[in-house]
Amino acid sequence: MACYRGRRHGIGNLAHVTFGAAHGPRVVEIGDPGAIALAADVLRGGGLVAIPTETVYGLAADMRRRDAVAAVFRVKGRPTSHPLIVHLADADDLDAFAASVSPAVRKLASAFWPGPLSLLIDHGGSVPADVVGGRPAAAFRVPANTATRSVIRSLGSPVVAPSANRFGGVSPTTAAHVVASLHTDVDLVLDGGPCPVGLESTILDTTVDPMQLLRPGAVLVEELESILGAPVAEPTGDSRAPGMLPSHYAPAATLLLSTNEGEARRILADLPDHERPARVIGAGLEPGAFAASLYTSLRLADDEGIRTVIAVVPPAVGIGRAVADRLQRASGRRGVTPR
């Protein structure tokens, strides 16, 4: 499938690329000479490229190509009503795609971009309707990975990029995770090593007053409030971002939650045989280290046939709040964060 998509759109200068459908997608180190130009060419031809970011790997498509955007939804198995984040090369590019940029949004962008913050802003029709599910606002972000931003710059258009996993599954934080999740449904994987943050970006809805936190991440509420000089509210109304669904980011194993290591060990000891093998994750880890390793731990547990994972949930402060949020969703329960 991958090579046909490339050929159909006549990516002439990719003649040397062997997509290797039988063996998996083409994986290229992002630092390799030609990797950035190659990725931009694949995107320009309507192909899908897995891109490293500081949060998780994204499944990128050229925002302007309806066929490629449709392929993102198809490959992920994601409802088309769930909008995609628009990834920009530079904060200055926001002016071209936002209906207007308020002083508050400009302050946030200059404080946190490039970085793990997605800002929901009215797009005034500059973002195609299929990207945003027909909504008036789009989520914009400038990822921190400089090579990934070079790809976007070289393409000359923003890319849409959801996490490069099937819908509802665990986000990828390494190139190997992407290959394991998407196989040849992705045309090219840019390997930029493990994602340093390991959890998806913070999403802030800037279209409401006060602004609302739609998804906690590595940019903390306190940091947002200190730049804004105003409080940030909890989300209200219907789930506007599917990351807010109670069940998401889920492994195949049953995930049980505990508040401390002692409790986790007791749960482990009491498990009946049919719920084993089982393991504890997160014990003794700093919340930041737990964030960076969480998705790898969940994938590893599945790969090793672990039936029950018992997580020690960190207190919901700092990055611990995002870890607790993802653990709650991965366990199929509503978040511990106040809402």
- Write out the residues near ligand TXA by the rule CB under 6 A: 53, 55-56, 58, 82-85, 118, 120, 132, 135, 137-139, 141, 143, 161-163, 200-201, 203, 240-243
Helix, strand, or coil (residue 63): coil
CB-side exposure of 166: number of CA atoms within 13 Å?
A: 12
To the nearest whole angstrom, how small is the minimum distance from the Cβ of residue 264 to ligand TXA? 28
Is 163 a binder of Mg ion (CB under 5 A)? yes
The partner in contact with residue 115, picked from Mg ion, ligand TXA, none with C-beta cut-offs of 5 to 8 angstroms by kind, is none
Q: Which does 240 bind (CB under 5 to 8 A by kind): Mg ion, ligand TXA, none?
A: ligand TXA
* Cβ-based nearer residue to ligand TXA, 250 or 271: 250
Min separation Cβ 167 and Mg ion, Å: 8
Nearer to ligand TXA, 201 or 258 (CB): 201
Instruction: Say if residues 127 and 136 touch (Cβ distance below 8 Å).
Output: no
Residue 85 near residue 215 (C-beta atoms within 8 A):
no
What are 213's two structure tokens? Answer: 């936190």
Per partner kind, with CB cut-offs from 5 to 8 A, the member of Mg ion, ligand TXA, none near residue 291 is none
Backbone angles phi, psi at 329, to 5 degrees: -70, -40
Near Mg ion by CB under 5 A, which window of 106-114, 156-164, 229-237, 251-259? Answer: 156-164
Instruction: Report, in Å, the least distance between residue 84 CB and ligand TXA.
Output: 6
Q: Which of ligand TXA, Mg ion, none lies near 321, with the C-beta cut-off 5 to 8 A by kind?
A: none
DSSP structure class, residue 39: H
Can the peptide bond before residue 231 be classed as cis, meaning omega within 30 degrees of 0? no
> 11 or 72, CB closer to Mg ion?
72
Residue closer to Mg ion by CB (options 36, 139) is: 139
Distances in whole angstroms, Cα of residue 324 to Cα of each of 161, 264, 337: 24, 15, 8
| Amino acid letter for position 80 | T
Strands 278-281 and 308-312: parallel
Q: How far is the CB of 276 from ligand TXA (least distance, A)?
A: 32
Least distance from ligand TXA to the Cβ atom of residue 119, Å: 10
By the rule CB under 5 A, 181 interacts with Mg ion: no
Q: How far apart are CA 257 and CA 167, in angstroms?
A: 23
- Cα 211 to Cα 37, 207, 259: the distances in Å are 38, 7, 30
Longest dimension (CA), the chain: 61
Bond prior to 210 in cis (omega within 30° of 0): yes
Chain residues 238-297 in contact with Mg ion, contact rule CB under 5 A: none
* Nearest distance from C-beta of residue 290 to ligand TXA, angstroms: 17
Which C-beta is closer to ligand TXA: that of 192 or that of 243?
243
Contact between 328 and Mg ion per CB under 5 A: no
Residue pair 95/101 in contact (Cβ under 8 Å)? The answer is yes
Closest CB to ligand TXA among residues 163, 308: 163
CB 175 within 8 A of CB 27: yes
The SS3 call for residue 181 is helix
Residue 137 binds which entry of ligand TXA, Mg ion, none, with Cβ cut-offs from 5 to 8 Å by kind?
Answer: ligand TXA
Q: How many Å apart are CA 291 and CA 296, to the nearest integer? A: 10
Least Å distance between CB 123 and ligand TXA? Answer: 8
User: Residue 188 binds what, of ligand TXA, Mg ion, none (CB under 5 to 8 Å, by partner type)?
Assistant: none
Binding site for Mg ion (CB under 5 A): 163
